[in-house]
Structure 1
Amino acid sequence: MSSRYAIILAAGQGTRMKSKLYKVLHPVCGKPMVQHVVDQVSQLNIDEMVTIIGHGAEKVKAQLGNLSQYALQESQLGTAHAVIQAKEMLAGKPGVTLVVCGDTPLIQAETMEALFKQHQDANAKVTVLTAEAVDPTGYGRIVRNNEGFVEKIVEHKDATVEERSIKEINTGTYCFDNLALFQALEQVSNDNVQGEYYLPDVIEILKKQGEIVTAFQTTEFEETLGVNDRIALSEAERIMKIRINETHMRNGVTLIDPQTTYIGSDVAIGQDTVIYPGTVLLGKTTIGSDCIIGPNSEIKDCQIGDETTIRHSVAHDSSIGRAVNIGPFAHIRPASDIHDDVKIGNFVEIKKAVFGQGSKASHLSYIGDAEVGKDVNIGCGSITVNYDGKNKFLTKIEDNVFVGCNSNLVAPVTIGKGSYVAAGSTITSDVPEDALSIARARQVNKENYVQKLNQKK
């Protein structure tokens, strides 16, 4: 197999987006558009990938990291001008180069692989990925000769009335013989309405040289959608959302109402898990088998074990074990580590805490900056007092501790193994193992107090 290269066009600002965020960094199902493209291209056994950057260059590089090399297009003078920026890295190397736009987040590796195959089978110098559009307005048209080969590609603004009636459009994705590509780029001119250097002009140059130009038409027009404004962005979201949800359902996940379930592109879900309406799953979230998630839950960058239930709750950047019961209306904040068989009940907030196996905080508690052992019971209204206005401090609650309702554990403090904290206590010192700690005023009853108060009034 000949060497394979890829050039990702990601230099445009995207003025029609009307946004401070550069176009290719706008997310689709939780992932920037250009990242979708690069992730798909990365599945194609590419030897070298070059991303053409311009507006927002540093932010694009920060997003993609070492997945790609980069070439800067300081002035955006057209697609051919963009591609020639990769000359220093790729020119003079034999092989096949894929050129794809960074604002086409729906394109799939299988389609690009088919494009490579068509190019190789036809022994072509150029292969164009095309699609049939119901409304081709704005797209370059594919003009074929009598034998069906590609004669030329005409941009919409430069097309005649007859050419504008053509439904087959250029998707902006190509395979080129790499040596022929960079030789032809030197001959591209900007003698057109826009005064830009168009990449499709390479096709006409190679045709005049008698080279083979072919096309591969995808059956999925939606896959080729280029995002240039917020309307197209929402359409890409809709299509990607359907694609993701259908994939999970085919893999054995039950989505009670797919239309109201939002799942990010990198989320993994085990078989026989049920996702209820209104649920949002984002980031690198991994959910095990036989779980119940939702309704109306938001989970981001969490690892969740089998047989866990999360209802009406929010969980971010945390590890949640097997057979855990969370909610309703719980909040699992970042850096929490919740072990197996734990119960986190209604209106409980966990933050940067380890919660040991079999432990419970059933209602109305805040557990922050804490290490909770096994089989601990934390009563209603109890909190770890972790902040003095400047610093955060650690609370340690060892195995088999019982914390009574409405207790304040003022950190730094350790509650020893097997001990009890009496309801209503404010604990400011360590509690020894197997002790009962009572830190509240002794009850005093004032007889006839109300009658005396009323007499004064």
Structure 2
Amino acid sequence: MSYNKLNTILLGGKKGADGKYPVQREILFTPTGRLVADALPEQCRLFYARQQSEPELEGIESIVCPDDADFTEMVSTAIEGMEGDVMLLSTPMPEVVSEEYQMVMDQHVEAQTAVTTLTCGALDDTWHIAVYNVDVLRDILTCHPLSLTHSIQIAGEISAKTGACRTHSHIDVRSACDAYHAQKTLQHRVNSALMERGVSILDPEYTYISPYCEIGSGTTILPGTMIRPGSKIGCGCTIGPNTILDRAEIGDRTSVNSSQVYESCVGADATVGPFAYIRPGCRVGDETRIGDFVELKKASIGNGTKVSHLTYIGDATVGERVNFGCGTVVVNYDGYVKSQTVIGDDCFIGCNTNLVAPVELGDRVLTAAGTTVTKNVPEGALAVARARQENKEGWNDRRRRMHGQDK
């Protein structure tokens, strides 16, 4: 037995010593309130009753109350105009799963109680989840309860029919310490589920993976890795150690070592790192190499291209099978405007080349080491832009003698 619709109210709380509200505290990179909202059964219509100064929670309808509103005022405001039954969530408990919410809802219907609580753990004197008949809840509110627990005590005093069902202990997140303990539980849950599906996690205690990401079987996650919401990792990859992925898409059999990838795609059979930084808006092709101390920003890198070390590529489109020498810089910004650079297929970019945008290099271009390219280069050409070397015999020996040094 279940509801077609159940109005559900998540109550905001007071700021902690660090200035953060309970619902806004992040656990595995996601606000606690968002985790609660996504765990609720589909038939729950969620409202977030918050104080005026408390930030909104994206995607959840807010009911705004004054900053000095107490429990009674917040609930009274939230249930105005509601009919039927309502579920109150007084403090976010991100560990509670959909089946536990469903259990208290079903028991409320089957037992036809006025108030039904979900009791978490061995103690019965504190509650954080309860389903009420809304008319009974209005009667309770006339007695001005100070908390959800107090409201349930009042229900008993006014002889309202109450019931309870029990689940295992959960943490209600109020402080940073609470969030830490709840995160350890969720971290174990997420990592264990991934390992059951064929993902190898070398040290689950030091690996932080959002529940809102996808990881293919055969992938290995090394310690110190943080995989944030929206990331998608293929099969047979190696991620880490000490790597951050944020809304990143990583192709099959690719390795990302001690690097950071944000809002970008990396293809299959590629290698990234160590110490690479891929900023938002990048597309890196298959069989590519993005090496140490390389930074990409809004760049498209073609299949088979190698950017091995100490290079910056920004606002650029790079073709296939291009080789970048050490110390190459795409000079994309003149202090006012960011301009585009286009590099064709099969180019060889020599060490310490500066490509001053806007500029285009055709296919099969070679730039000599130390070249600064300021105009377009046709396909198949060599670009050389540097002063001719001149040797002055004995110049440095004379200089050394002037400073009292022997030859």
Give yes or no for TM over 0.5: yes
1:85 alignment counterpart: 77
Separation (CA, whole Å) in 1 of partners of 2:269 and 2:153: 61
Separation (CA, whole Å) in 2 of partners of 1:399 and 1:441: 28
Letter in 1 for 2:155: I
Separation (CA, whole Å) in 1 of partners of 2:270 and 2:230: 20
Query: What pairs with 1:200-219 in structure 2 (closer than 5 Å)?
Result: 200-201=152-153, 203-204=155-156, 208=159, 211=161, 213-218=162-167
The answer to whether the 8 A contact 1:367-1:384 is kept is yes
- Kindly indicate whether residue 117 of structure 2 is the aligned counterpart of residue 173 of structure 1: no
Q: Pick the structure with more helix per residue.
A: 1
Describe the shift of the 1:232–1:55 C-alpha distance in structure 2 as closer, same or farther (beyond 3 A).
Answer: farther
The answer to whether the 8 A contact 2:301-2:317 is kept is yes
The answer to whether the 8 A contact 2:8-2:86 is kept is yes
Deviation by residue 1:385-444 (Cα, 9 ceiling, x = unmatched): 111122211111111111111111111111111111111111111101111111111222
- Kindly indicate whether residue 50 of structure 2 is the aligned counterpart of residue 53 of structure 1: yes
Letter in 2 for 1:72: C
2:294 alignment counterpart: 348
The answer to whether the 8 A contact 1:4-1:97 is kept is no
Separation (CA, whole Å) in 2 of partners of 1:89 and 1:320: 51
Separation (CA, whole Å) in 2 of partners of 1:404 and 1:89: 71
Question: Which of the residues 107, 114, 120 maps onto 1:131?
Answer: 120
- Kindly indicate whether residue 204 of structure 2 is the aligned counterpart of residue 258 of structure 1: yes
The answer to whether the 8 A contact 2:9-2:78 is kept is no
Describe the shift of the 1:350–1:201 C-alpha distance in structure 2 as closer, same or farther (beyond 3 A).
Answer: same
Separation (CA, whole Å) in 2 of partners of 1:387 and 1:358: 27
Deviation of residue 365 (structure 1)?
Answer: 0.7
1:157 alignment counterpart: none
Separation (CA, whole Å) in 2 of partners of 1:415 and 1:195: 69
Describe the shift of the 1:189–1:365 C-alpha distance in structure 2 as closer, same or farther (beyond 3 A).
Answer: closer
Separation (CA, whole Å) in 2 of partners of 1:451 and 1:389: 42
2:42 alignment counterpart: 44
Separation (CA, whole Å) in 2 of partners of 1:363 and 1:119: 63
- Kindly indicate whether residue 330 of structure 2 is the aligned counterpart of residue 384 of structure 1: yes
The answer to whether the 8 A contact 1:288-1:305 is kept is yes
1:159 alignment counterpart: none
Deviation by residue 1:45-76 (Cα, 9 ceiling, x = unmatched): 22x3222111534x22xx333x3353535533
The answer to whether the 8 A contact 1:376-1:401 is kept is yes
SS at 1:236's partner residue? helix
Query: What pairs with 1:262-341 in structure 2 (closer than 5 Å)?
Result: 262-341=208-287
RMSD: 2.3
The answer to whether the 8 A contact 1:44-1:113 is kept is no
2:14 alignment counterpart: 13
Deviation of residue 366 (structure 1)?
Answer: 0.8
SS at 2:20's partner residue? coil
Deviation of residue 116 (structure 1)?
Answer: 1.4
Deviation of residue 34 (structure 1)?
Answer: 1.2
Q: So what's the TM-score if we normalise by structure 1?
A: 0.82
The answer to whether the 8 A contact 1:34-1:102 is kept is no
Q: So what's the TM-score if we normalise by structure 2?
A: 0.92
Letter in 1 for 2:20: L
Moved more, 272-281 or 386-395: 386-395
2:371 alignment counterpart: 425
Letter in 2 for 1:50: F
Deviation of residue 8 (structure 1)?
Answer: 2.6
Deviation of residue 298 (structure 1)?
Answer: 1.4
Deviation of residue 186 (structure 1)?
Answer: 5.0
- Kindly indicate whether residue 32 of structure 2 is the aligned counterpart of residue 33 of structure 1: yes
The answer to whether the 8 A contact 1:330-1:347 is kept is yes
1:434 alignment counterpart: 380
Describe the shift of the 1:189–1:72 C-alpha distance in structure 2 as closer, same or farther (beyond 3 A).
Answer: closer
List alignment gaps of at least 5 residues for structure 2: none
List alignment gaps of at least 5 residues for structure 1: 134-166
Deviation by residue 1:332-381 (Cα, 9 ceiling, x = unmatched): 11211112211101111111111111111011111111111111111111
1:24 alignment counterpart: 23
Separation (CA, whole Å) in 1 of partners of 2:48 and 2:6: 11
Separation (CA, whole Å) in 1 of partners of 2:387 and 2:116: 84
Question: Which of the residues 166, 186, 206 maps onto 1:240?
Answer: 186
Identical aligned residues as a percent: 32
- Kindly indicate whether residue 88 of structure 2 is the aligned counterpart of residue 99 of structure 1: yes
| Alignment size in residue pairs | 402
The answer to whether the 8 A contact 1:313-1:329 is kept is yes
